[in-house]
Structures are given as structure tokens and as C-alpha cells.
Structure 1
Amino acid sequence: MKITVENLPPGEEAEIIIRANTLSKRMMELIYALQMESETLMLYHEDGSMSVLHPDSVYYFESVDNKVFAYEKAEVSELKQKLYELEQRFAGTDFIRISKSMILNLAKVERFAPSFSGRFEAILQNGEKVMISRQYVPALKKRLGL
């Protein structure tokens, strides 16, 4: 594979051109990662304020009582999207469905540990632990290349 990087004159927008006969899975992952750079989500806080969230800071999304929350390192905020909408929006990225109510950011996982009844436990970089449902373990293993 040949990679060429050119310096642009000031004020011009960066552009990536991919020339390939076929796109490999890894190339598609890189494309999704580049697209994620510009992705943002609107968060709604308890005090009525709103803020912009970049998905790369999210550890996981969780649905609780018909509300969806984004969990960051030390903050939890509500989103207006449904969990299935987030799953579709971030398909092909580091986000993966791990239960009916949770989508996990694999980039924020420190390690995995087998748990009881065929489930797995993910230990996150912030020390938090989340359970991976038995029915989602095969997809996780496939994603991790196990």
C-alpha cells in the first residue's frame, strides 16, 4: 500500500482520497474512525442546559427507563436518541452492542474477564465494570478476533 501526504496551502480543507479495487475490513474501520472525528452528539443535562459531546470520550451508552444516557469518565448525561439509533450511527466503529440496554466503546476497555453463565465482564479504563450478556459474547469474540 502506498501512502502519500501532501502539505496544503493555508485555508484549504484537508482531503483524503482512497484509491482501491476493494476496501478491506481494516480500511473500512479506518474510514469510520476518520468520520468519527467530526461526529458530535447533543447532551441534555438535569439543569436544562445542553452541550456537545464527542463520541470518543464516551465509555458506554445505556438505556434506563426509556431514557438513553452517555457515560463518560466521571460524568453521565442524557441523550434524546434511542439506543438502536446510536447502534446504527456508530456501526463499524469501536462501539459494540453488549446487552439489550448497553453499547460499549471498545477503545475504553482495559481488559475482559470471563464471568459466570457464559457472560463476560469488561473492566473499563476508569475502573468501572460492565457485564456482557451471553448472547452478545460471540459477536464480541468475533470483533476481537478470538
Structure 2
Amino acid sequence: MKLQIEHCPGEVQVTVRGPEDSAELQTIVALLQSESDRMWLLNEQQETVAVSPRDILWAEMVEDKVFVYTAGSVCRAPFSLAALELRWGVLGLFRCGKSTVVNLNAVQSLHSRPGGRIEALLPTGEKILISRRYAPALREKLQGGYEG
């Protein structure tokens, strides 16, 4: 990737060039768009709050309700895990189990576990298990030089 920055007066403009099917290009565009992208969640005080997708550590579904965990809070989401992964997957949100999504950018370390599973350690000390069903997709992402 070649990066060129030009300083000039006026409005900030960003031009991104590359092959249409480039994963790297799609990631860059998603990151630029995510600067203004927020998800609206319900916090513990039942207030609607804006959360950046980058602040999410992980999310889980419990009794048909989606809960999103950040470093300092737990919020309820008005959408499904599939919607979370589909919309913000390019930013690192990865489906790691039937009822769990983890932010790969927040993972501090990965450890192999029996049965083909992988354990992900988050900055909060939380350990998230990547099921054997989703472990191959994670390995593929990592071998492909994941840049989320």
C-alpha cells in the first residue's frame, strides 16, 4: 500500500484508489466511514447512548436479547448478532459462537483449547471461547494477514 498525504487549505478530502475487489481497500473505506458511525444502545440506566463499534469488546445473546460489552459498560442492543457482524465485521467484529461476537482488534492473545476451540483473552481479563465451528474461519483470517 502506498500512502500519500498532501496538506492544503480548504475542506479535507480523501481519495482512496485501488482494485474494486481489494479487501484492503474495503477495510480502509470501512474505517473511514466508521469515524462517524455509531450504534445506539440502551445502557443499564435505560438511557439511549451512542457507542463506536471500535469500543466494543464482545457481544452475546442471552434469552433472545443482545448485550454489548465495552471496557466500562454493558448495553442492550436493538439488533441481532448477525446484523452486528454483517454491518461492522470489516472493523473486526467476528462471529465466534452461536451466541457470541468478539472484536478481534481487542483480543490480546489466543490460546488453543481441546476440541479445536480457541480461547481469546480480552483487555478486561474476560476469556471468550471461539467454537470449533468458527475456529477455521478465524484461522483463515489470521493466515490471510487480517488487518481489521
Do the two structures share a fold, i.e. TM-score over 0.5?
yes
Change (3 A) 1:8 1:67: farther
The match for 1:109 among 107, 110, 115 is 107
CA distance in 2, matches of 1:74, 1:56: 13
Matched, 1:42 2:68: no
CA distance in 1, matches of 2:64, 2:118: 25
The match for 1:29 among 22, 27, 30 is 27
Identity of matched residues, %? 33
Q: Report which structure shows greater RCO (CA 8 Å, sep ≥6).
A: 2
**Partner of 2:6 in structure 1?**
6
SS at structure 2 position matched to 1:52: strand
SS at structure 1 position matched to 2:9: coil
CA distance in 1, matches of 2:70, 2:97: 18
CA distance in 2, matches of 1:66, 1:73: 23
Task: Please list every run of 5 or more consecutive structure 2 residues that lacks an aligned counterpart in the other structure.
Answer: none
C-alpha deviations, 1:90-116, integer Å up to 9, x for none? 132211110011111011000000112
CA distance in 2, matches of 1:35, 1:53: 15
C-alpha deviations, 1:50-105, integer Å up to 9, x for none? 11111111101111111111101131111101111111111322111100111110
Moved more, 58-67 or 86-95: 86-95
Q: 2:54·2:91 contact (CA, 8 Å) conserved in 1?
A: no
- Describe how 1:7-86 pairs up with structure 2 within 5 A: 7-9=7-9, 12=11, 14-86=12-84
Q: Normalized against structure 2, the TM-score is what? A: 0.87
Query: Aligned-residue CA RMSD in angstroms?
Result: 1.8
Number of aligned residue pairs: give it: 144
Change (3 A) 1:65 1:144: same
**Partner of 1:127 in structure 2?**
125
CA shift for structure 1 position 2: 4.5
Q: Normalized against structure 1, the TM-score is what? A: 0.88
Q: Letter of the aligned partner of 1:7 in structure 2?
A: H
Deviant stretches of 4+, over 6 Å: none
